[in-house]
Amino acid sequence: MSDVPLIELRSVFKIYGEYGVRIKALDDVSLKIYEKEFVAVTGPSGSGKSTMLNCMGLLDRPSSGEVLIDGANVNKMPGKKVAALRGKKIGFIFQTYNLISRLTAMENVILPGVVNGEKKELLNSRAIELMKEVDVLHRAKHKAAHLSGGEQQKVAIARAFINSPCVILGDEPTEALDTKNSENIMSILKKMNETHGVATVFVTHDLSQTKCAKRIIELRDGKIIGDQRGGTGNE
Amino acid sequence: MSKASRIYAWGEIKDHRRIYTIIIIVIALTMSSFMLTHAAILYTSQVISSTTKMALSSDVCILAPGSDERDLYGGAVEIPDAGEIEKTINELPGYRASVRCVLQGSYNVGDGFDGCVIQGIDLKRDVELEKIKSGLVQGEWFDESKEYLHHRTGIKIDLGNLTSKIKIKDKTIGRIDFEIGNPGEEPYPVIVGETATKVHPIKVGDVISVIGTKGSRGAFSASVVTIELKVIGTYRSGTPTLDQLVWFMPVDCLREIKGYGSFTDAPPQKLLSLPQLTDKIGFLLQSIPFVSEISMYNITLSDIGSTLEGVSEGLILADAGFEVDRGAGEIILVRAPEPRFHMKEIAHSKDVVNELRGAIDGAMNYVIYSSHDLIRYISGSMQDIANIMHWIMMFIILALATFAIYHAMDNIVLRKIREIGTLKAFGATDGAILEIFLNQALFIGFLSGGFAVGISVIAMRFINWYGGISIGFIGETQLDIKFLVTWSIVLITFILPILVSILASILPAKKAATLSPVEALKKGEISL
């Protein structure tokens, strides 16, 4: 394992202010995510889980503090460079899948690659492999709108891996699914983490899902109140 | 992400095809109507242009110093040395020139008078002779071997200088000539415009009494002449309005009528006493419209008599031998060498005018109009107004289309906010998002412009195939609506929708592009 963390948050604050009210969504959060880690972020609603994930994924900029991706400080990077870094290094899995309904499953999977200017032939063959891995290849030519929730999330997982990122960030990836599909998705994520060696960080407030994580970070009121390593990673 | 954004943008258009189809149709139809109207206006202009050249002028007209465009319709002052100028121009390589005379007249049509402009054309040399001849639709052409002259056998009563003697509406009439041009003689031949025969009960073979105004514009004289004209034919130029107004007769006849020439023998002169004068005036007053004008102001013959008090005598000329000055006239028409009708007609016209100014002695004093100047004078303002109104209407509709595109695009941005957030999460830059929406605008613009040109071409072909549109005009004449398209209009029709859609899309596109990824994803979640 490399000594350089893939993602590092250094004393990160995120403060929202509206109508004179200041809310500290993140309060002096420092964190390092390394290669191949499978991390669950938990905490009650409003504890800052998603905000932290957004800062880690460069979707949002912290109010203060530093964010480093693969050792590079992104604070002073221009927006274009941040966007490129985000596209190449980070894969996202959203709670509501965020597939583009008029595109087919295959088109959705290759979309991040297209955005990053990769060749379509290469993307297609990689997409077939990924869809096979998540067991959704048989639906490759179907429109996203015609897929079930579980299938949509599988497509979203394949999509997150298409650019061979170093970190996958999942914001409550099973929240919209039933128990069976949730378990299925979690096992796919776990399997992909092991197969591809890509660090995975997912937010959940379902404690049962933390069982499969090797590291559990707990947040409350924007602060990290627990960071447990050494889990088996087996349910 | 250029290619990807194009593909994505096309997908967006397909996704919102209903609203985009409506917008594209509105813009396409607006631009199509613009192109069709413009093509019809252009065709009309060309008709006016060619008719003007045929009926009134040639490439260039030369008038006496101090004249203006109105003088082309009568009232022009005689050009000094017209014959010499004609000769000089004819010696220039490729140029042809001929002198014309013009007489403004009015004729009785039963319930009132109507006006006409009689153009005297040289039956051998007139530069537009063949065109006028080819327009003959009824009757016969002038006998080119015949002179049709009467050696000025008319009666002229010259009341002498009456300054401050006769006032009409506070205006002093300085001098009055009353003249009967050809009493008891063979009428002068005339070819009238076809429209005049449809509007009024005039037909080939009729003899019409025309009262001509000989007085030039600005002259200190009210000089009228009554002449008998025999309609020997009718012509059609293609523009009914001109065909009602412009008639033709041999130029020498008009020279004789206007008195351009000299007496071969001393004309019998007779001094008349005041009672004889008033008696003669009384006779003439029966046939001229001037009388009704006087009676409008309640001036009677006795008033004239008393007004003439102090004028003891007048002059009567009759049966005098007269030799026409065959070089005299008020307008010199010039046919310039080729190229005549091409894309640079305006520039060519200017070159021709400049060349003539260099060739004619004292040319700076003469008024020289190119055909382009005349067309601008005849139809320019009407066309300009039509064009301005047309452009205003088009811009109003395009402004509405711009608003429609803006709102549609804004709405789409709002609905697509989550997709925008997702794309940004995948690494799409602000520029890439902007590109997607501007590409949509480009698609809309291209499709609208393309359809506009296509619809116009199909409509024009269909109308022409169907036989064109013909609308009722003066009398029983028909005005054809046809089309003439220029590349500049095709280009405007195609490019304007593209500019409009880009303009309308800039703000929504910028709004979409500058959203932060997290903001877009959050708003997207809310809008779900």
Note the pLDDT tens digit of each residue in B234-254: 998 777 777 888 899 999 988
What is the distance in angstroms between the Cα of B15 and the nearest Cα belonging to chain A? 7
For chain A, what percent of residues have pLDDT higher than 90?
55
Q: Is residue B414 part of a domain?
A: yes
Q: Is residue B192 part of a domain?
A: yes
Binary contact (B1, A54; C-beta < 8 A): no
Instruction: Mark A162-180 as b/e (b = at least 16 C-beta within 10 Å).
Output: bbebbbbbbbbbbbbbeee
CB pairs under 8 A between A and B: 70
What is the distance in angstroms between the Cα of B29 and the nearest Cα belonging to chain A? 30
Q: Is the pLDDT of residue B174 over 60?
A: no
Q: Which amino acid does the sequence have at B269? A: Q
B238 compared with B211, residue with greater pLDDT: B211
Q: How confident is the model at residue B299 (pLDDT cuts 50, 70, 90)?
A: very low
B220 compared with B21, residue with greater pLDDT: B21
Q: How confident is the model at residue B282 (pLDDT cuts 50, 70, 90)?
A: low
Distance (Å, whole) CA B48 – CA A178: 80
- Residues B14, B112 share a domain: no
Q: How confident is the model at residue B377 (pLDDT cuts 50, 70, 90)?
A: low
Structure tokens at B514: 């500058």
Residue B360 has a pLDDT of 82
Q: Which domain holds residue B10?
A: 2-49+380-527
Provide, as residue numbers in chain A, all residues whose Cβ is less than 8 Å from the Cβ of B418: 98
Q: Which amino acid does the sequence have at B503? A: L
Q: Is residue B422 part of a domain?
A: yes
Provide, as residue numbers in chain B, all residues whose Cβ is less than 8 Å from the Cβ of A94: 422, 521
- Residues B65, B130 share a domain: yes
Residue B15 has a pLDDT of 76
Residue B154 has a pLDDT of 47
For chain B, what percent of residues have pLDDT higher than 70?
68
Q: What angle do CA B338, B340, B342 make, to 5 degrees?
A: 115
Query: Which is it for strands B113-121 and B246-250: parallel, antiparallel or unpaired?
Result: parallel
Tell me, yes or no, if A34 comes closer than 8 A to chain B by beta carbon: no
Residue A176 has a pLDDT of 76
Residue B109 has a pLDDT of 76
Binary contact (B429, A83; C-beta < 8 A): yes
Q: Which of A58, A67, A115 to mutate to test the interface with B (most CBs of B within 10 A)?
A: A115
Binary contact (A102, B525; C-beta < 8 A): no
What is the distance in angstroms between the Cα of B518 and the nearest Cα belonging to chain A? 5
Q: Is residue B435 part of a domain?
A: yes
Nearest CB to A54 within list B15, B418, B518: B518
Q: Which of B422, B434, B435, B436 to mutate to test the interface with A (most CBs of A within 10 A)?
A: B422
Provide, as residue numbers in chain B, all residues whose Cβ is less than 8 Å from the Cβ of A111: 423, 426
Query: CA A125 → CA A111, A121, A142, A153, distances in Å?
Result: 13, 6, 17, 20
- Residues B253, B127 share a domain: yes
pLDDT digits (tens, 9 = 90+) for A190-214: 998 988 889 999 998 878 878 888 8
Query: CA B37 → CA B50, B173, B210, B239, B483, distances in Å?
Result: 20, 49, 41, 19, 8
Of B125-134, B194-203, B380-389, minimum mean pLDDT range: B380-389
Q: Do B94 and B352 form a contact (C-beta atoms < 8 A)?
A: no
Provide, as residue numbers in chain B, all residues whose Cβ is less than 8 Å from the Cβ of A85: 427
pLDDT digits (tens, 9 = 90+) for B410-455: 887 888 888 888 999 998 888 888 888 888 888 889 999 999 999 9
Mean of pLDDT over chain A? 88
Tell me, yes or no, if A143 comes closer than 8 A to chain B by beta carbon: no
Average pLDDT over residues B383-390: 72
Query: CA A77 → CA A64, A84, B106, B331, distances in Å?
Result: 15, 11, 89, 81
Distance (Å, whole) CA B125 – CA B133: 13
Q: Is the pLDDT of residue B159 over 60?
A: no
Residue B407's contacts (CB-CB under 8 Å, 6 or more residues apart) are none
pLDDT digits (tens, 9 = 90+) for B468-495: 666 665 555 566 667 778 888 889 889 9
Q: Which of A98, A123, A161, A166 to mutate to test the interface with B (most CBs of B within 10 A)?
A: A98
Tell me, yes or no, if A119 comes closer than 8 A to chain B by beta carbon: no
Nearest CB to A80 within list B426, B429, B525: B429
CA nearest A110 in B: which residue? B426
Binary contact (A60, B518; C-beta < 8 A): yes
Residue B376 has a pLDDT of 66
Nearest CB to B425 within list A86, A96, A102: A86
Q: Is the pLDDT of residue A65 over 90?
A: yes
Binary contact (A112, B426; C-beta < 8 A): yes
The total number of structural domains in chain B stands at 2
pLDDT digits (tens, 9 = 90+) for A36-64: 899 999 999 889 998 999 999 999 999 99
Q: Do B68 and B330 form a contact (C-beta atoms < 8 A)?
A: no
Residue B168 has a pLDDT of 43
Q: Is residue B371 part of a domain?
A: no
What is the distance in angstroms between the Cα of B520 and the nearest Cα belonging to chain A? 10
- Residues B239, B94 share a domain: yes
CA nearest A160 in B: which residue? B426
Tell me, yes or no, if A145 comes closer than 8 A to chain B by beta carbon: no
Q: Is the pLDDT of residue B54 over 80?
A: no
Nearest CB to B15 within list A59, A86, A102: A102
Nearest CB to A96 within list B427, B518, B525: B525
Average pLDDT over residues B11-32: 83
Hey, is B328 helix, strand or coil? coil
Binary contact (A80, B431; C-beta < 8 A): yes
pLDDT digits (tens, 9 = 90+) for B256-273: 888 788 777 665 555 555
The residue out of B302, B335, B368 marking a domain boundary is B335
pLDDT digits (tens, 9 = 90+) for B125-158: 898 888 889 989 999 999 988 888 875 544 455 5
What is the distance in angstroms between the Cα of A53 and the nearest Cα belonging to chain B? 11
Q: What is the 3-state secondary structure (H, E, C) of B169-225?
A: CCEEEEEEEEEECCCCCCCEEEEEEHHHHHHCCCCCCCEEEEEEECCCCCCCCEEEE
CA nearest B15 in A: which residue? A102
Provide, as residue numbers in chain A, all residues whose Cβ is less than 8 Å from the Cβ of B517: 59-60, 86
Distance (Å, whole) CA B476 – CA B198: 6
CA nearest A113 in B: which residue? B426
Average pLDDT over residues B185-191: 86
Of A193-207, B27-41, B299-313, minimum mean pLDDT range: B299-313
Binary contact (B429, A79; C-beta < 8 A): yes
Hey, is B75 helix, strand or coil? coil
- Residues B299, B268 share a domain: yes
Of A13-17, B243-247, B308-312, B387-391, minimum mean pLDDT range: B308-312
CA nearest A52 in B: which residue? B518
Burial label for B462, CB within 10 Å (0-12, 13-18, 19+), is exposed
- Residues B75, B36 share a domain: no
Tell me, yes or no, if A80 comes closer than 8 A to chain B by beta carbon: yes
Q: Is the pLDDT of residue B4 over 80?
A: no
A171 compared with B526, residue with greater pLDDT: A171
Burial label for B185, CB within 10 Å (0-12, 13-18, 19+), is middle
Structure tokens at B272: 């008349």
Which is nearest to B100 in space by CA: B261, B324, B255? B255
Binary contact (B428, A83; C-beta < 8 A): yes
Distance (Å, whole) CA B48 – CA B57: 12
Reported in sequence order, the residue ranges of B48-181 that DSSP labels E, i.e. its strands, are 60-63, 96-108, 113-121, 136-139, 155-168, 171-180
Structure tokens at B132: 């006028």
Provide, as residue numbers in chain B, all residues whose Cβ is less than 8 Å from the Cβ of A60: 516-518
Provide, as residue numbers in chain B, all residues whose Cβ is less than 8 Å from the Cβ of A114: 1, 4
CA nearest A102 in B: which residue? B15
Q: Is the pLDDT of residue A109 over 90?
A: yes
Query: CA B274 → CA A10, A131, B178, B290, B291, distances in Å?
Result: 124, 122, 15, 20, 19
The residue out of B335, B350, B371 marking a domain boundary is B335
CA nearest B428 in A: which residue? A115
First to last CA, chain A: 24
Provide, as residue numbers in chain A, all residues whose Cβ is less than 8 Å from the Cβ of B432: 115
The residue out of B278, B305, B335 marking a domain boundary is B335
Average pLDDT over residues B27-35: 86
CA nearest B514 in A: which residue? A79
Burial label for A109, CB within 10 Å (0-12, 13-18, 19+), is buried
Q: Is residue B6 part of a domain?
A: yes
Distance (Å, whole) CA B309 – CA A86: 111
ipTM here = 0.90
Q: Is residue B347 part of a domain?
A: no
Tell me, yes or no, if A98 comes closer than 8 A to chain B by beta carbon: yes
Distance (Å, whole) CA B119 – CA B257: 12
Binary contact (A115, B14; C-beta < 8 A): no
Binary contact (B427, A98; C-beta < 8 A): no
Q: Is the pLDDT of residue B55 over 80?
A: no
Binary contact (B429, A96; C-beta < 8 A): no
Mean of pLDDT over chain B? 75
- Residues B420, B397 share a domain: yes
Query: CA B489 → CA B87, B386, B448, distances in Å?
Result: 43, 16, 15
- Residues B222, B73 share a domain: yes
Which is nearest to B181 in space by CA: B160, B208, B212? B212
Task: Enumerate the domain spans of chain A.
Answer: 35-62+75-229
Determine the topology of domain A35-62+75-229 in CATH: Rossmann fold (3.40.50)
- Residues B289, B150 share a domain: yes
Residue B153 has a pLDDT of 46
Q: Is the pLDDT of residue B41 over 60?
A: yes
Q: Is the pLDDT of residue A174 over 50?
A: yes
Distance (Å, whole) CA B328 – CA B100: 8
Binary contact (A87, B427; C-beta < 8 A): yes
Binary contact (A79, B426; C-beta < 8 A): no
Q: How many CA atoms lie within 13 A of B270 on its CB side?
A: 15
For chain B, what percent of residues have pLDDT higher than 90?
11
Q: Is the pLDDT of residue B165 over 50?
A: no
Reported in sequence order, the residue ranges of B394-509 that DSSP labels E, i.e. its strands, are 469-472, 478-481
- Residues B182, B97 share a domain: yes
Q: What angle do CA B420, B26, B10 make, to 5 degrees?
A: 30
| Whether the bond into B497 is cis, omega within 30 of 0 | no
- Residues B199, B101 share a domain: yes
Q: Which helix (H) or strand (E) holds B324?
A: strand B322-324
Q: Is residue B294 part of a domain?
A: yes
- Per the DSSP assignment, residues forming a β-bridge with B221 are none
